[in-house]
A and B are shown apart, each in its own frame.
Chain A
């Protein structure tokens, strides 16, 4: 695609967002209040509360409402007040979205999805252009809603996409720095470290090649540890020399002490959970999340980008406070694998399940919270459907990836129906 095509997509997406921001002044606050978009750890409303406390020299965590990373506060306090000059905040969010799209464009442009260093798909010729994939991200309603709702999850999304794109383009250091930022902001992206390291290892530039995998991994892990340590140190200084923020940001994610409903599976489960088993099941849920990366890295070693996509999918289902931001990140990675779409078996079911949940979710939430004619089970049922749709997508994608690999081994089976025994 031409450079002009890319620019027009970016400008178009930015304009669309700007128009939505300006033409519907009530829309940002409406979307900010939606539980599907704002979770306790990404809510813009809570950020403002933290910001108010911060600018008045009170610890931002004193209110018990703000659970986000401390370094977001100086960033937002540099902007003019969102009440008086909302446009600057809007522009920041639009910029972050465009930056994410640009990283995604680069990832698509590299062709990593179809042919990595260790694996070349026979179907790789069939793919969408980078511009199309960036457009699919930018014009995805979930992405737009997340941007208008000003969820701070977009910063994490941006950092993750940049980590992937830098790893592909042979700059492991930058990739690690970006991943450190993502992990610092939301904690869970640290689980992406193994596949990102593998990806960076595969795509090293010839002139700076480190042959030993262990040495390469060790260096990169050290970079991440160093980066995160620096970020935490800065946070420590910002929050008045106290480590309180650790418990209030990451601790909240570990212990799920804020049970505000969201589109994930945790909140209802832990509302119902017997207190004496709460700690145990928190451990189970976190281990469940943490058990995937290693196994997926072994299984899909030749395709690290596929591993990343699948893990992002499991995050979007199983992390403690998922939102549309996570779903939009996962969904924006899927078009990279255009070449295996013909191998996917449940595309229709998946699509309709996700759409069904998208439309019924807000309706059921309304019935529960506002109309009072439903109860929590209504909304939870819909989040189950939403998670079901996503897990169908994850497993279908995994199946297609594996079948694609397998058909190289068994060319005689191409196009035939198979069954796992």
Chain B
């Protein structure tokens, strides 16, 4: 480097009394160096080396040694191998059987639990039954927060089950003779309930087992995941965004013409999106911005959009959809006002997540086509309702909220104590919001620890690469300094010998 090019000038020029040959062709021996010149040169050499030794070496030592803290390696390895935490998602199922005797109901619960456990070969997903206290006729049962599902048993004609669409209640009707006695050891009703429960939770179970299959916990591996189910689940995870503690939601209104130019987006978000964002609160933070863009031309001009058109609909060159604002990944929700519509081929009809007006772009966001009368200048929040609800659904599948913490310890080479601590707590309360909260903190801490500045530097720098860092600058600077030192030492040894010889001669005389 340039500093190297000039630095030798001082020591190099510092030996002017050295041998000099005249320009004439006959080389003439220069006069011997004077004592003072020799002394002066050694002063110069030593002045440079004093700076290097007294200041340079301590600085080098201080600035390049990497401080290594002691890490709880054993604990980290345990987490990494999945031994520290057995992921178990116990789900409380409450059985409401007001029409049964206490002991009869107890036995039914016990039998059903047996039936469930017999069929369940996957330890990660565990349904735990309990008998709900009898309900007073006067007050409605307050649903316990921990209870995932309530089964309401009512006497009737035949076996029938139906899932309540509005609340987490499974209504089961049973014929009167199906009740097992307090001492009987098997019951058709118990088997029936167990089967119903399993089919209700089958999707959830396969999701969890899919997620666990990518983690390293050996004993939690699923056994019975069909390839088709795995494919669906993998599709779901590939289109979702990578987990981040904060997402930025951008709501954009693009219109083909000059109107409409205003929208009640704030009310619409408050009304339709906020409840769900609030629900996601323990896992993610959301920041929101909105924009309106007039005279926006989409990337494809065709009136009816085919499936191929959908991919190029976004006009990436002109629409101000920045990839990311700040550090958080951005999820885009675009409402396009125009007269285009989507040509529904048989293919896209089967796709569950796409309506005729909207489609989702994996890991990016959603576009919603809204056609309005030409004269509309303002879009009320009521008109945005359908779009917002679509966005809600798409946001959920984009986020794919599930177990962000599990894959972290596997790959992480470093962990801080708080990561471990929070993981411990998260493991203790899996399934609840608390677990998600701790998992989130653990994830953040682990990321921070992993991308710790000095460690990343170390990661990228095998020792042999250091030569490439040191040599270009220090090489040119160092060569004259080292040569000067060697010459100096050589002369010193020569002088000593000379002196010893002279002394010896003197003695012999």
A and B assemble together: yes
What residues of chain A have their CB less than 8 Å away from a CB belonging to chain B?
265, 269, 274-277, 279-285, 287-288, 290-292, 294-296, 298-299, 301, 314, 317-318, 384, 387-388, 391, 394-395, 398-399, 402-403, 405-406, 409-410, 413, 416-421
* Interface residues as binary, B35-51 with A (CB distance below 8 Å gives 1, 0 otherwise): 00000100110011011
Count of CB-CB pairs between chains A and B under 8 Å: 128
Would A421 and B2 be within 8 Å (CB), given that A280-B60, A398-B9 are in contact?
A: no
Would A277 and B64 be within 8 Å (CB), given that A288-B477, A418-B20 are in contact?
A: yes
CA distance A276 to B461 in the complex (A): 9
- B66 sits at the interface (CB 8 A): yes
CA distance A94 to B40 in the complex (A): 44
Question: CB distance B13 to A413 under 8 Å?
Answer: no
Question: CB distance A391 to B51 under 8 Å?
Answer: no
Contact of A421 among B1, B5, B18, B458 (CB under 8 A): B18
CA distance A269 to B474 in the complex (A): 14
CA distance A409 to B17 in the complex (A): 9
CA distance A160 to B499 in the complex (A): 47
CA distance A138 to B9 in the complex (A): 30
- B469 sits at the interface (CB 8 A): yes
Considering only CB atoms, which chain A residue lies closest to B39 in the complex? A298
Collect the chain A residues with CB atoms within 8 Å of residue B12's CB: 420
Question: CB distance B22 to A416 under 8 Å?
Answer: yes
Question: CB distance A391 to B9 under 8 Å?
Answer: yes
Considering only CB atoms, which chain B residue lies closest to A282 in the complex? B63
- B56 sits at the interface (CB 8 A): yes
Contact of A406 among B1, B3, B17, B453 (CB under 8 A): B17
What residues of chain B have their CB less than 8 Å away from a CB belonging to chain A?
1-3, 5-7, 9-24, 31, 40, 43-44, 47-48, 50-52, 55-56, 59-60, 62-64, 66, 453-454, 457-458, 460-461, 469, 473-474, 477
Collect the chain A residues with CB atoms within 8 Å of residue B59's CB: 280, 283-284, 287
Chain B's interface: helix, strand, loop or mixed, by majority?
Answer: helix
A194 to chain B, nearest CB (A): 10
Question: CB distance B6 to A394 under 8 Å?
Answer: yes
B19 to chain A, nearest CB (A): 5
Question: CB distance B20 to A421 under 8 Å?
Answer: yes
Q: List 25 A-B contacts (CB under 8 A).
A: A276-B461, A280-B60, A280-B64, A283-B59, A283-B63, A284-B56, A284-B474, A288-B3, A294-B51, A295-B10, A298-B40, A299-B40, A299-B44, A387-B2, A394-B6, A398-B9, A398-B10, A405-B16, A416-B22, A416-B24, A417-B23, A418-B20, A419-B21, A420-B12, A420-B15
Contact of B16 among A279, A314, A384, A403 (CB under 8 A): A403
A139 to chain B, nearest CB (A): 29
Collect the chain B residues with CB atoms within 8 Å of residue A391's CB: 2, 5-6, 9
Would A287 and B51 be within 8 Å (CB), given that A274-B457, A394-B9 are in contact?
A: yes
Considering only CB atoms, which chain B residue lies closest to A383 in the complex? B2
B405 to chain A, nearest CB (A): 29
Question: CB distance B14 to A420 under 8 Å?
Answer: no
Most chain B CB within a 10 A radius of its CB, from A287, A399, A418: A287
